[in-house]
Amino acid sequence: MEAKKLITKEIENVPEHYLIEILDFIRFLETKALEQKMELALASETSLKKDWLIPEEDEAWKRRRKK
């Protein structure tokens, strides 16, 4: 939490036009993190697809839906 306090303190002295740039950078970082999560999910799906797309898996889900 120390970094958050330091950033908050520094932001008090930053001119408005820099605040817009800081906000853009924060949003960039959020988008980047989301993209990395999506890439990981897609990579996992590709890796697991071989186990998901087998007749045994289909049968297991059919039995589960009947319950």
Inter-residue contact 14 to 22 (CB < 8 Å): yes
Query: Token digits for 28?
Result: 């960039």
Q: How far is CA 22 from the centre of its chain?
A: 21
Query: Token digits for 39?
Result: 């890439």
- Tens-place pLDDT, residues 25-67: 999 999 999 999 988 887 777 777 777 777 777 777 777 776 5
pTM for the model stands at 0.55
Distance CA 58, CA 52 (A): 8
Mean pLDDT rounded to a whole number for the chain:
86
